[in-house]
């Protein structure tokens, strides 16, 4: 059994003994819902179905164990972020639906904490907001644009803070603060959700590899199971399933964690317990102060692997982890040179148009939810509950959200998929470097925006 080396998994290693795999009895049951993937999406969907219909027969399958993938390895942010910006949502869906999606995302931040409390899951939920720093003039420009957009639509909360009012980082010109972000211990939450599904009567089977998803049946390495509805909740890992390689592109994001730091360091930096942080560069970085006073810090920049390949060996990339360490030290040199105790990573699920969605086909019984682009902790709850409402024909406000769609755009075949993705990854770094020097938007940046739908 492969165990990821994430901080989160390491801290609950005692809880990672896999459940039993699919049994011959399971193969003979006529399930109401069969879910492939025991991460946040699959488990929230299962909880939603069982809440709507406590008598439903629900089966959740996972190749390794619940929370093996991104749900147990992420940055621990419960944010109101959606892959498509508000202006993009307005352009696609109209003002009313766009604002409904924003309100739902903001509500999800509190909802995750409320559900964790109701289900008695001790995941360290702390709502302390997020600070996004601006250290270059062009980043100040982006910050002001974000504030202006927030004021235009009047739903989100974003305020400007001067250097003396926010985090202590060299060269800081200011920062924005958004109160609608919380932190969690993601592995504790996802393992707790799996136990909650079982407590409500659902069945979770681990050590079972899904090889194909077909109308009303799921094929595994341990036989075929049938259900009135079958759900693809595999996110990045759906690229490993027959016929689904072009549905979601697996793009790696990597993380590091420091040893616990003394309170004097945190007082100097000004980062509150559970507070998250980022900055306005193009290359995404994200961090938080953990409950045991570590930095958990991550970012993009790892290569895409031809053919949407996923391997355990891709979870660590020396040069990227070194770059993350250098970036964190540059942001907060007052931390000194603490030991980096954990280095890990994993694939995110990227949809072709960078728009998360939920699709349920009543004819085939196949449902799918995902495309979070790394913003999935809160969004997965919204998506999972929405998919559950569609499956159980429950009339709710969620089924009218712009998250619900009837189609899922496919990625291009190789080598076009590889070439386009690598242009985006390399172009992001080039754009950051040029814009930092010129303090003006670069042509490369506009090309990258076109590729990512921004």
Q: Report d(CA 109, CA 401) in Å as an integer.
A: 17
For residue 438, the model assigns a pLDDT of: 74
Confidence of residue 300 (pLDDT cuts 50, 70, 90): confident
Task: Output the pLDDT for position 451.
Answer: 55
pLDDT tops 60 at residue 147? yes
Q: What percent of the chain has pLDDT over 70?
A: 96
Determine if the peptide bond prior to 415 is cis (ω within 30°): yes
Q: pLDDT-based confidence at 436, cuts 50/70/90?
A: confident
At residue 433, the pLDDT reads 73
What percentage of residues in the chain have a pLDDT greater than 90? Answer: 90
pLDDT the model gives residue 7: 97
| Cα–Cα dist 20/416, whole Å | 40
Beta-strand relationship, 58-61 and 203-205: parallel
Q: What's residue 453's pLDDT?
A: 55
Banded model confidence at residue 439, pLDDT cuts 50, 70, 90: confident
Give the pLDDT confidence score for residue 440 in this predicted structure: 74
pLDDT of residue 107: 98
For 100-145, write each residue's pLDDT tens digit: 999 999 999 999 999 999 999 999 999 999 999 999 999 999 999 9
Q: Tell me the pLDDT band of 431, cut-offs 50, 70 and 90.
A: confident
CB 153 within 8 A of CB 135: no
Instruction: Give, in order, the Cα–Cα distances in Å from 126 to each of 52, 55, 133, 285, 430.
Output: 28, 34, 21, 20, 36
Average pLDDT, the chain: 94
**Rounded average pLDDT over 313-328:** 95
Q: Taking 80 as the threshold, does the pLDDT of residue 89 lie above it?
A: yes
pLDDT value of residue 55: 98
Residue that has been written with the tokens 């045991």 in this structure:
292
pLDDT in tens, 329-364: 999 999 999 999 999 999 999 999 999 999 999 999
Instruction: Please name the residue ranges forming H helices in 34-130.
Output: 40-52, 86-93, 95-118
pLDDT above 90: residue 251: yes
């Amino acid at each position: 059994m492969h165990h990821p080396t994430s901080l989160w998994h390491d801290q609950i290693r005692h809880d990672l003994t896999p459940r039993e795999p699919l049994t011959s009895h399971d193969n003979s049951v006529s399930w109401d819902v069969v879910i492939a993937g025991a991460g946040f999406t699959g488990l929230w969907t299962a909880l939603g179905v069982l809440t709507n219909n406590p008598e439903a027969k629900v089966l959740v399958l996972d190749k390794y164990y619940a929370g093996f993938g991104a749900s147990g390895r992420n940055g621990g942010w419960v944010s109101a972020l959606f892959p498509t910006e508000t202006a993009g949502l307005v352009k696609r869906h109209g003002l009313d639906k766009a604002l409904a999606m924003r309100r739902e995302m903001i509500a999800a931040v509190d909802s995750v904490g409320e559900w964790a409390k109701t289900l008695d899951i001790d995941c360290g939920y702390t709502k302390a907001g997020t600070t996004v720093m601006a250290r270059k003039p062009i980043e100040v420009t982006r910050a002001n644009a974000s504030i202006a957009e927030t004021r235009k639509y009047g739903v989100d909360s974003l305020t400007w803070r001067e250097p003396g009012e926010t985090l202590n980082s060299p060269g800081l010109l200011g920062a924005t603060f958004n109160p609608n972000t919380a932190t969690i211990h993601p592995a504790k939450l996802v393992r707790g959700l799996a136990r909650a599904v079982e407590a409500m009567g659902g069945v979770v089977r681990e050590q079972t590899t899904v090889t194909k998803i077909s109308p009303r049946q799921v094929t595994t390495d341990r036989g075929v199971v049938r259900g009135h509805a079958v759900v693809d909740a595999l996110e990045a890992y759906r690229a490993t399933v027959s016929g689904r390689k072009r549905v979601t592109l697996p793009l790696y994001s990597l993380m590091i964690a420091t040893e616990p730091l003394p309170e004097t360091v945190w007082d100097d930096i000004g980062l509150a317990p559970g507070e998250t942080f980022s900055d306005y560069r193009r290359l995404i970085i994200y961090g938080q102060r953990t409950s045991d006073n570590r930095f958990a810090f991550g970012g993009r920049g790892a290569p895409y692997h031809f053919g949407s390949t996923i391997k355990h060996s891709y979870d660590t990339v020396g040069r990227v982890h070194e770059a993350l360490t250098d970036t964190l030290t540059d942001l907060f040199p007052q931390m000194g040179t603490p030991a980096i105790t954990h280095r890990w990573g994993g694939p995110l699920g990227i949809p072709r148009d960078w728009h998360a969605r939920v699709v349920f086909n009543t004819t085939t019984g196949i449902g799918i939810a995902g495309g979070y682009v790394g913003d999935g902790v809160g969004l997965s709850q919204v998506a999972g509950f929405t998919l559950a409402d569609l499956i159980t024909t429950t009339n709710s406000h969620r089924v009218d959200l712009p998250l619900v769609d009837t189609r899922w755009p496919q990625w291009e075949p190789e080598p076009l998929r590889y070439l386009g993705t690598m242009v985006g990854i390399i172009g992001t770094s080039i754009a950051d470097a040029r814009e930092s020097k010129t303090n003006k938007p670069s042509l490369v940046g506009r090309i990258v925006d076109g590729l990512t739908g921004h």
